[in-house]
Amino acid sequence: MQSSTVWAVCILVGTFNLACGLKEIRWCVTSTPEMNKCNHMKEAFESAKMHPLISCVVAASALDCAKKIANKEADAVSLDGGNLYQAAKEHKLKPVVAEKYDQEVGTIYYAVAVVRKSDNSITINNLKMKRSCHTGYGRTAGWNVPIGYLINTGKMSVIGCKIPQAVSEFFNQSCIPGAQRTGFPSSLCQLCIGDEHNKNECAEDDDERYYSYSGAFRCLAEQAGDIAFVKHSTVSDNTDGNNPNPWAKDLNSSDYQLLCRDGSRAEVTDWKACHLAKVPAHAVVVRLDTDGAAIFNALDAGQKKFGITSTGFKMFDSASYNSKDLLFKDSTTEFMLIKNQTYQAWLGTEYLQSLNGLDCYNMPKTLRWCTQSRGELLKCGAMAEAFNSKDLTPPIQCVSGDNPNDCMIKIKNKDIDAVTLDAGQIYTAGKLYELVPAAGESYTSDNDGASYYAVAVVKKSSHNAFTIDQLKGKKSCHTGLDRTAGWNIPIGTLIERGEIKPDKCNIDKAVGEFFSASCVPGAIEKGYPSSLCELCIGDAKGKSKCVFGAEEQYSGYTGAFRCLAEVGDVAFVKHTTVIANTDGNNLEPWAVNLKSSDYQLLCLNGVRAEVNQWRECNLAKVPSHAVMVHPSTPITAVFGLLDKAQDFFGNDSYPNGFKMFDSSAYNGSDLLFKDSTVRIISVGEKTTYEDWLGKNYLEAIKRIECSGAMIPSMMPSLFLLILMLLSFFI
Ligand SMILES: *[C@@H]1O[C@H](CO)[C@@H](O)[C@H](O)[C@H]1NC(C)=O
Ligand SMILES: *[C@@H]1O[C@H](CO)[C@@H](O)[C@H](O)[C@H]1NC(C)=O
Ligand SMILES: *[C@@H]1O[C@H](CO)[C@@H](O)[C@H](O)[C@H]1NC(C)=O
Ligand SMILES: *[C@@H]1O[C@H](CO)[C@@H](O)[C@H](O)[C@H]1NC(C)=O
């Protein structure tokens, strides 16, 4: 009856459907008891005349099953979320049928972080140096979810994927049963207490009294730890009289709270809203070309005959094999067809975030850094050597790129791994080359540090105090073409105010006509108005005039300010540029006698302000520079390396040795990183170029962008050509 329905469906929809032609489903098993159960399932399906038939294939592990399925040696297996992630990423399998338990559809449980209510200062954002209690090493709620989450959000940095080391440096002490392994730091087991005789400390079973859900909660309840990573039901299972054991019988659930991802806290009953991740149910995975509906139909027919009410073979029972959770979890009540059969949709963003944080697949062997000048190459070489001296991995390799665009292309092609770019370049890198941010620069030690202010600097003058609306005909100095503070923001601002009126998309031409002369490093190629390079001076020998890089002495923040000091009327730079190059802060001959009080800022409201009033008088607040990488590069490895490195080399006042945020030893400024960087910070949740840049900046940049046209001046003629061709045919 059931099988004929399946076949009827197959005949109806299956004429062109290979999967319906599935004569059998080769189920993958990983143990002898599982093989026995699988053989019983095969016989049961056969005797009920169900199709397709089942057969059983043995593999060494869940991941070996995934491999066999990918190689067409098997067809299906039910996997937990962690294995499903690997199976999907490494073997391109997809989830098609979910197990359903007595929970909300698609979920096994919620992984939560529990603290004592009385410790009212703890949040998810300040767990560093706290004492932690975990269900066990490698377990989902106690390890994978919380550690993956902390790494992925940049709260914990990891070097070279040595996760146990990172955890031991992050938490002061922990009890992580099972973490007593060679090479693992001892602090990971330090809070564990073992059995009643204080033996078997840190054992991965009930001999350790702080093992598993109840144990991890006990570790918190007995004040050994400050936080326990458990599941949503753990607190209520062990409080309010629900657990009669002496340690638990007097505990009151209202003495505990949950830490939420947004930094707040909630009552323990609020786990639906306040958790680290929703852990998905186990699901059956198959190859991409296998029809999920056919697999579901077969299992659905099976569960109707051999489900919980069956008197013979039972699909969701493993007790007859002296085991548990064979083929499917014993707590399964039924199967469900998965609608969106992508692993991302099935795992959900929160759980996926944790798994991404732990993903050590694809770890780069080296990190090839794109350098764009001789100074950068020198500094990069010194950086590689310095990092090496501290055994920081992956090791840095220095590779030359011609300019930011060349670096982006090489990263897209995976010839290079990383480069630091400014917001304008990040836009191009993300939009055209699909690069993603891996770490950011912060220019202060507070939370506002991941941004800076674009300002217009002028010389103080009593007789010629022109304002932002009187820039026409002035001589302008820019950090570089398409750069943020030097081009995108000021030109966007002047267009928005109606000062510059570009004809169609020809912004370069309009700028060239607006200012009497400029230095816009990079505007050297054919097609740019020559006035955009008129003020540039090139290198010390007068060569490389108006090139994008450091050879042009008027390029970058310092260069644009020098241009103002020597020839220009206005320089478009950032808020720290004047201070960094005046009052004795820059000892180069051109700067040594400059005074900050001789300069002013142009404000948007038409007045001028002193250079230290940038917070009130700026053109825009812009996102800071970021290290950009290929989307397949694990950003946690990049951030982990830089974060650890800055503990050694981030402090400019450190007397000897390499300094990450100082370029003076290489005769340059802002090499590899901006000199004003205080710290490298994690990108946190801002994992795309759009997240990093933010809505305001994206809007600003779109104002000066001509709808997708990369070579604006070609657009009209191309349009004409098409018109001509069309008219020819009509
Ligand atoms: C870390 O634990 C040690 C004991 O092992 C203690 O002396 C120290 O104060 C703790 N550090 C912090 C920051 O809590
Ligand atoms: C738990 O504590 C709350 C408030 O302190 C109290 O109202 C409640 O009765 C206690 N519950 C139990 C089971 O002791
Ligand atoms: C399936 O999920 C993926 C990942 O979450 C999403 O990008 C896609 O739009 C979804 N497809 C459908 C049909 O909903
Ligand atoms: C920096 O410039 C000085 C003088 O111009 C020169 O003597 C020195 O070799 C340069 N250093 C580097 C690293 O290029």
Residue pair 331/344 in contact (Cβ under 8 Å)? The answer is no
User: pLDDT-derived band of residue 21, with 50, 70 and 90 as boundaries?
Assistant: low
Please tell me if the CB atom of residue 377 comes closer than 6 angstroms to any atom of ligand 4. no
Q: Give percent of the chain above pLDDT 90.
A: 77
CA of 18 to the centre of ligand 3 (A): 24
Q: Tell me, yes or no, whether 638 and 551 share the same domain.
A: no
The bound ligand whose nearest atom lies closest to the alpha carbon of 129 is 1
- Average pLDDT, rounded, for the chain: 90
**Closest of 211, 226, 217, 144 to residue 180, by C-alpha:** 211
0.85 surpassed by pTM: no
Whether residue 126 is found in the same domain as residue 274: yes
The CATH number of whichever domain residue 313 belongs to comes to 3.40.190.10
Question: What is the whole-number distance in angstroms between the Cα of residue 681 and the centre of ligand 1?
Answer: 25
* Residue 45 belongs to a domain: yes
Helix or strand (DSSP H, E) at 396: strand 396-400
Question: Does 362 map to a domain?
Answer: no
Q: What is the signed CA dihedral for 369, 370, 376, 378, rounded to 10 degrees?
A: 50
Among the three residues 299, 320, 350, which one is the final residue of a domain in this structure? 350
- Given this model, what pLDDT does residue 712 score? 36
Neighbours of 298 (CB within 10 A): 25
Q: What is the pLDDT of residue 121?
A: 94
Q: What is the mean pLDDT of residues 121-132?
A: 96
Give residue 443's pLDDT: 87
Residue after which a domain boundary falls, among 263, 279, 295: 279
Which ligand is the nearest neighbour of the Cα of 172? 1
Residue 706 inside a domain? The answer is: no
At 595, is the pLDDT very low, low, confident or very high (cuts 50, 70, 90)?
very high
pLDDT, position 589: 95
609-640, pLDDT tens digit by residue? 999 999 999 998 889 999 999 999 989 999 99
Cis preceding-peptide flag for 52 (omega within 30 of 0): yes
Q: Which residues pair with 174 in a beta bridge?
A: 132
Q: Quick check: CB of 45 below 6 Å from ligand 4?
A: no
Ligand 4: distance of its center to the CA of 667 in Å? 6
Say if residue 379's pLDDT is above 50: yes
In a domain, 699, yes or no: no
Rounded to whole angstroms, the Cα distance separating 124 from 504 reads 50
Q: Are residues 85 and 126 in the same domain?
A: no
CA of 7 to the centre of ligand 2 (A): 59
Give the residue, by CA position, lying nearest to ligand 4 atom 1. Answer: 667
Residues 553-588: pLDDT tens digits?
Answer: 999 999 999 999 999 999 999 999 999 999 999 999
Verify whether ligand 4 is closer than 6 Å to residue 666 (CB atom): yes
8 and 97 housed in the same domain: yes
Least confident of 80-84, 267-271, 472-476: 80-84
Clarify whether residues 214 and 83 are in a common domain: no
Atom of ligand 2 nearest to the CA of 252: 1
667 within ligand 4 shell (Cβ under 6 A): yes
For residue 345, the ligand 3 atom closest to its alpha carbon is 5
398 and 534 inside one domain = no
d(CA 588, ligand 4 centre) in Å: 12
Longest CA–CA span in the chain (Å) reads 102
Q: What is the mean pLDDT of residues 515-530?
A: 93
Residue 713 located in a structural domain: no
Which amino acid, residue 519?
C
Distance 98 CA to ligand 3 centre (A): 17
129 CA distance to ligand 1 centroid (A)?
8
How far, in Å, is the centroid of ligand 3 from the Cα of 100? 21
Q: What is the pLDDT of residue 504?
A: 75
Residue nearest ligand 3's atom 2 by CA: 345
Over 60: is that where the pLDDT of 715 sits?
A: no
* pLDDT confidence band for 447 (50 / 70 / 90): low
Question: Is residue 207 over pLDDT 80?
Answer: yes
Same domain, 443 and 461: no
17 and 126, same domain (yes or no): no
Cα 664 to ligand 4 centroid, rounded to whole Å: 10
- Rounded CA separation 703/35 (Å): 64
Q: Give the number of residues written for the chain.
A: 730
Mean per-residue pLDDT for 9-30? 64
- Give nearest CA residue, ligand 4 atom 3: 667
Protein residue whose Cα sits closest to atom 6 of ligand 3? 345
Ligand nearest, relative to CA of residue 349? 3
Q: Is residue 359 part of a domain?
A: no
Distance from Cα 172 to the centre of ligand 1, integer Å: 6
- Cβ pair 199, 207 in contact under 8 A: yes
Report which ligand 2 atom has the smallest distance to the Cα of 239: 13
What secondary structure, in 3-state letters, does 339-382 show? CCCCHHHHHCHHHHHHHHHHCCCCCCCCEEEEECCHHHHHHHHH
Position 16 pLDDT exceeds 60: no
Res 404 pLDDT > 50: yes
Mean pLDDT for the stretch of residues 279-308: 94
Cβ neighbours of residue 654 closer than 8 Å, sequence gap 6 or more: none
Pocket probe for ligand 3: among 344, 346, 351, 352, the residue whose CB has the most ligand atoms within 8 Å is 344
Distance 329 CA to ligand 4 centre (A): 69
Nearest CA to ligand 4 atom 12: 666
Closest residue (by CA) to atom 13 of ligand 4?
666
Instruction: Give the ligand with the smallest distance to the CA of 254.
Output: 2
Cα of 713 vs centre of ligand 3, distance in Å, is 39
Q: Percent of the chain, pLDDT > 70?
A: 92
Going from the Cα of 118 to the center of ligand 2, the distance in angstroms, rounded, reads: 15
- Which ligand 3 atom is the nearest neighbour of the CA of 340? 1
Residues 594 and 493 reside in one and the same domain:
yes
Residue whose token pair is 């011609």: 402
Supply the range of the domain harboring residue 186. 108-279
Residue 187 CA, closest ligand 1 atom number: 5
What is the per-residue pLDDT for 706? Answer: 60
pLDDT reported for residue 1: 42
The answer to whether 257 and 267 have CB atoms below 8 angstroms apart is yes
**Residue 530 burial (CB count, 10 A):** 11
Contact residues of ligand 1, CB 6 A cut-off: 129, 172-173
Residue nearest to atom 11 of ligand 2 (CA): 252
Q: Are residues 540 and 647 in the same domain?
A: no
Q: Which residue has the higher pLDDT, 683 or 22?
A: 683
Using the mean position of ligand 3's atoms as its centre, give its distance from the Cα of residue 309 in Å: 36
Place of tokens 């923001």: 489
Distance of CA 668 to the CA centre of its chain: 31
Taking CA atoms only, the protein residue closest to ligand 2 atom 9 is 252
In a mutational test of the pocket of ligand 1, which residue from 172, 187, 226 has the highest number of ligand atoms less than 8 Å from its CB? 172
345 lines ligand 3 (CB under 6 A): yes
pLDDT band with cut points at 50, 70 and 90 for residue 729: very low
Q: Is the CB of 626 under 6 A from ligand 4?
A: no
**Per-residue pLDDT at 342 exceeds 50:** yes
Lowest mean pLDDT among 256-265, 669-678, 721-730: 721-730
pLDDT value at position 19? 45
Ligand nearest to the CA of 342: 3
Same domain, 126 and 185: yes
Asked whether residue 704 is domain-assigned, the answer is no
Q: So what's the pLDDT on residue 10? A: 46
Ligand 2 pocket mutation pick from 254, 255, 256 by most atoms within 8 angstroms of CB: 254
14 has pLDDT over 50? no
Q: How many domains does the chain have?
A: 4
Ligand 3 centroid – CA 344 distance (Å): 8
CB of 344 closer than 6 A to ligand 3?
yes
Contacts of 448 (CB under 8 A, 6+ apart): none
Question: According to the model, what pLDDT value does residue 481 have?
Answer: 92
Of 578, 593, 615, the residue at which a domain comes to its end is 615
Instruction: Find the 346 Cα to ligand 3 centroid distance in Å.
Output: 9
Residue 122 included in any domain: yes
Which residue owns the Cα nearest ligand 1 atom 3?
Answer: 172
Q: Whose CA is nearest to atom 2 of ligand 1?
A: 172
Q: Is 475 helix (H, G, I), strand (E, B) or coil?
A: strand
pLDDT at 327 over 80: yes
Among candidate residues 594, 587, 542, the one with its CA nearest the CA of residue 571? 594
* Residues 645-667, mean pLDDT to the nearest whole number: 87
Distance 295 CA to ligand 3 centre (A): 21
Query: Is residue 382 lining ligand 4, measured as CB closer than 6 Å?
Result: no
Cis preceding linkage at 634, omega within 30: no
Ligand 2-lining residues (CB < 6 angstroms): 240, 252, 254
Please tell me whether residues 481 and 593 are part of one structural domain: yes
pLDDT of residue 671: 95
State the pLDDT confidence band at 654, using cuts at 50, 70 and 90: low
